Amino acid sequence: MQRVFGQLVLLVLLSELSCNQSIVHERAVLTDSVKVEFLHAWNAYKQYAWGHDALKPLSKQPHDWYGTSLCMTPVDAFDVILLMGFSKEAAKAKKLILDNLSFDKDIEVQAFEITIRLLAGLLSAYQMDGDRGFLRLAEELGKRLLPIYNSRTGMPYRYVNLQTGKIRDSINNPAEIGTAMLEFGTLSKLTGNPIYYEKAKNALVQLYNRRSMIGLVGTWINVETGEWVNKTSHIGGAIDSYYEYLIKAWLLFGDKECKEMWNESIKAINIYLADTTHGGLWYCQADMDTGKRTGTFFGSLEAFFPAVLCLSGDIERAAKLQESCYKMWNLHGIEPEQIDYASMKATDKRYYLRPEIIESAYYLYHFTEDPKYLQMGKRFFKDIVKYCKTEAGYAYLRDVTTKEQADGMESFFFAETLKYLYLLFAPKETLPFENVIFTTEAHPIRRVKNNK
């Protein structure tokens, strides 16, 4: 009897071992495949758009956001090139950036996009590569962005002319107001100049102070008067990374006020925006003053939230929400930009090569080690390759139902989508999770210990 039992235990152990070995093998294969696809996209950028902001993958033409290049793709992609171990490619990208990138340009730029893609990219490049040229560029950019904070409330304007400092657009949203603290804060820590941290933090506090009586924020606010001009509350685009940065600023800098602001905010979000009435967990739109539900839309941008919930320790809710996100992905075999979760119909049929759902799978896998998140990641990767791959890189989809491709490949496809896929499959030591905080554009910033 004892012998039979012993044999059974041995069998179970052996089958577990072989299962683990096959997971390890599958992960190694997937890691290599992501690298291959990365090179496919990167080589196309090099061939058709080298030195420009981005590649238009169908017409094989370069694209510059403001008519002159700010090296968007190489800066955004630099850290992932290093992570993947492509040292020759990294050297080429570095030379391109350090020899050519200048911010002394008479162009009006959207501060948020420039902050999350370029400032963050330069800071992580500096931390990973060590060349002070990256930090010099980051500081030059930081200085040129500072005029955005010259409003009566201290909340930023949306656009600034990099040469003249002229600002415009006083109607701004929480995401664009609040998503600077990691980048500006890190710039302060690295340069020793506190101004960046102070300005970004003040903007965050000013916004938080204008939350409603029930603790929600709206979508648009006038940064001169401090009055809300659109009171729809949600966790999607235009608000999303405001919440993300409250908790991450706490974790990165140990800023207790940010922790308190996060704690208060998440309570209100879970009371008024969480919705379990349509099967599964979703987050809705509601009026910021009354909490009354005004919409049941959810989309690819909202899919960042399981990752943030993981960071806050709410794995249960994170896992439930990720199940909903996965349903959304599987509706048409690839993720629509937005659905109405009450009817489960796509209301915006584009797929922009976005990373959020993959980012959440990566966080959930880190915190639970449940192999189902690896399988999800594999599904995402296979579908992206199947529908978005083109001769010259990757193209976003105009319509997830027809899979019609469109002529764009955003730099976040390198910086985030492929990076999170890679990190999900690669061995943990590739980038130990506890050592960094990822900015909203997935740029890893080194974490100072003992912030908890």
Q: List the catalytic residues.
A: 113, 240, 337, 356
Number of H helices, E strands in the chain: 17, 22
User: Per CB under 6 A, does 115 bind ligand DMJ?
Assistant: no
Residues in the chain: 452
User: Per CB under 6 A, does 440 bind ligand DMJ?
Assistant: yes
Which residue in 147, 187, 441, 445 binds ligand DMJ (CB under 6 A)?
441
Spatial separation of the C-alpha atoms in residues 231 and 227, rounded to whole Å: 10
204, two tokens: 């965050």
72, two tokens: 């968007």
Compute how many residues bind ligand DMJ; rule: CB under 6 A.
9
Spatial separation of the C-alpha atoms in residues 236 and 161, rounded to whole Å: 28
User: Per CB under 6 A, does 354 bind ligand DMJ?
Assistant: yes
CB of 366 to ligand DMJ, least distance (A): 18
Instruction: Indicate if the alpha-carbon torsion angle 320, 298, 385, 403 is positive or negative.
Output: positive
Spatial separation of the C-alpha atoms in residues 234 and 219, rounded to whole Å: 8
Residue placing its CB nearer to ligand DMJ in the complex, 212 or 269: 269
Spatial separation of the C-alpha atoms in residues 237 and 229, rounded to whole Å: 16
CB of 303 to ligand DMJ, least distance (A): 9
The dihedral region occupied by 140, where left means phi > 0, alpha psi between -120 and 50, and beta the remainder, is alpha
CB of 301 to ligand DMJ, least distance (A): 6
409, two tokens: 């490949």
User: Per CB under 6 A, does 45 bind ligand DMJ?
Assistant: no
User: Per CB under 6 A, does 89 bind ligand DMJ?
Assistant: no
Residue placing its CB nearer to ligand DMJ in the complex, 142 or 355: 355
Spatial separation of the C-alpha atoms in residues 68 and 215, rounded to whole Å: 42
User: Per CB under 6 A, does 338 bind ligand DMJ?
Assistant: no
Residue placing its CB nearer to ligand DMJ in the complex, 159 or 412: 412
* β-strand partners of 171: 222
Residue placing its CB nearer to ligand DMJ in the complex, 320 or 354: 354
CB of 300 to ligand DMJ, least distance (A): 7
Instruction: Indicate if the alpha-carbon torsion angle 113, 242, 235, 328 is positive or negative.
Output: positive
Terminal Cα distance for the chain, rounded = 52
Window contacting ligand DMJ (CB under 6 A); options: 79-87, 223-231, 288-296, 348-356: 348-356
Spatial separation of the C-alpha atoms in residues 111 and 315, rounded to whole Å: 33
Query: In this structure, which amino acid lies at residue 94?
Result: K
User: Per CB under 6 A, does 241 bind ligand DMJ?
Assistant: yes
Window contacting ligand DMJ (CB under 6 A); options: 28-36, 199-207, 252-260, 349-357: 349-357
Residue placing its CB nearer to ligand DMJ in the complex, 326 or 414: 414
Residue placing its CB nearer to ligand DMJ in the complex, 37 or 416: 416
Output the CA angle 182-188-189, nearest 5 degrees: 85
Residue placing its CB nearer to ligand DMJ in the complex, 139 or 441: 441
Spatial separation of the C-alpha atoms in residues 147 and 142, rounded to whole Å: 10
Which residue lies nearest ligand DMJ, judged by its C-beta?
Answer: 440
Window contacting ligand DMJ (CB under 6 A); options: 56-64, 226-234, 279-287, 352-360: 352-360
User: Per CB under 6 A, does 362 bind ligand DMJ?
Assistant: no
Spatial separation of the C-alpha atoms in residues 254 and 251, rounded to whole Å: 5
CB of 296 to ligand DMJ, least distance (A): 21
CB of 355 to ligand DMJ, least distance (A): 6
User: Per CB under 6 A, does 412 bind ligand DMJ?
Assistant: yes
Binding site residues, ligand DMJ, CB under 6 A: 116, 241, 354-356, 412, 416, 440-441
